[in-house]
Amino acid sequence: MIGAFIRAGIATAPHLIHPRAADQVFLTNLEDAGMAPTRSTVRLMPLIQAQQNGPTALIAEGIRHPKQVRMSMTTFVVEHREARFLIDPSMCADVHDSVLTELAQPYRMTVAPERPVIGLAQSLEDECGLAPERIDFVIPTHLHWDHIAGLYELPQQTPVLVQEAERAFALAGKQVPYGVARGPLRNRKFEPYELDGPPCLTFARSRDVFGDGSVIVVDLQGHTPGSVGLLLNTEDHGRVLIAGDAVWHSIQIDELRQKAPLLGDLVDADREETFKTIHRLSAATSTVPVIPVHDHGVVSHYLT
């Protein structure tokens, strides 16, 4: 683990001066399939549970100003007329002791959020007046530690909807991938699904969760094999796309920049697919606002 971290650090230096250029041919050839009509809306409530500063040059290679950007770790509560669910149950109150300890140093130190962290149960109670038992299911955008640590504060029987490729990536094999902590995932009730629906916007595959166009899962593979985004038709903001970790900050979309090798080479399972997904997100912004879930400024805009 330490060797991989050192190699990624060495590889970063030239990318800070000569970042990877956007693939204009790929971008030009992207087709926008549009969006299916929607017959319903959902209520979206972001719960910001933790924060930290991130070095811009590592988040979007070659971007030096500002030197740092503010990052958040956020759970999204979604209320549909048929169900109440969470996107990315992000943080448990004791995440530094119960989850981060599973991660190797120096990666652990690099990604640890500032204290204090607001646990999921407290966030649900304070912001929504909800007990964890009132959550019907969760849809993680992917299974990295900071998107599922809050499972520790949800009932064991709460269904976790995830693609099988993502579950296998996180839990199969002896070698734990960078960014994965298996503790919150053990003995959970996984409910697999497939992206068996048509193209949506610039994304090749989709799944309509309720069949009414209000919650559509789209394929954002690359960062992890089963990374997804969620296209929501919200009451207050219209349609928005929650993009998980396909990008960490909106500056990556604006400038078409991948993460620098440190930490990108460590946490992006497929760097080529991740870069293509950034292009797909960039093209989609002409139709729908994109919410990178760690971008504190963007997430804060949707607080109600």
The CATH number assigned to the domain holding 223 equals 3.60.15.10
CA neighbours closer than 13 Å in the CB half-sphere of residue 107: 25
Domain assignment present for residue 150? The answer is: yes
In a domain, 65, yes or no: yes
| Tokens, residue 150 | 């809050």
210-255, pLDDT tens digit by residue?
Answer: 999 999 999 999 999 999 999 999 999 999 999 999 999 999 999 9
Is the pLDDT confidence value at 71 over 70? yes
Residues in Cβ contact with 230 at an 8 Å cutoff, skipping those fewer than 6 apart? 78, 87, 139, 141, 215, 216, 217, 218, 241, 242
Asked whether residue 26 is assigned to any structural domain, the reply reads no
Q: Which helix (H) or strand (E) holds 54?
A: strand 43-55
Q: Tens digit of pLDDT for each residue in 74-124?
A: 999 999 999 999 999 999 999 999 999 999 999 999 999 999 999 999 999
Specify the range with the lowest mean pLDDT, choosing from 25-29, 159-163, 244-248, 261-265: 261-265
Beta-bridge partner residues of 238: 234
Average pLDDT over residues 255-284: 97
Number of folded domains that form the chain: 1
Torsion on CA atoms 87, 93, 98, 101, rounded to nearest 10: 90
pLDDT cut 90: percent of the chain above it? 93
The answer to whether residue 30 sits within a structural domain is: no
Judge whether 24 lies within some domain: no
Q: Has residue 149 been placed in a domain? A: yes
Question: Domain residues for 276?
Answer: 2-19+41-301
Whether 155 maps to a domain, the answer reads: yes
First vs last C-alpha separation in the chain: 41
Q: Are 263 and 57 in contact (CB under 8 A)?
A: no
> Using one digit for the tens of pLDDT, what is the confidence trace for 289-301?
999 999 999 999 9
Rounded CA separation 146/75 (Å):
10
Q: pTM here?
A: 0.97
In a domain, 34, yes or no: no
At 195, the pLDDT band (50, 70, 90 cuts) reads very high
Q: Taking 70 as the threshold, does the pLDDT of residue 178 lie above it?
A: yes
Is residue 304 pLDDT above 80, yes or no?
A: no
Average predicted confidence (pLDDT) for the chain = 97
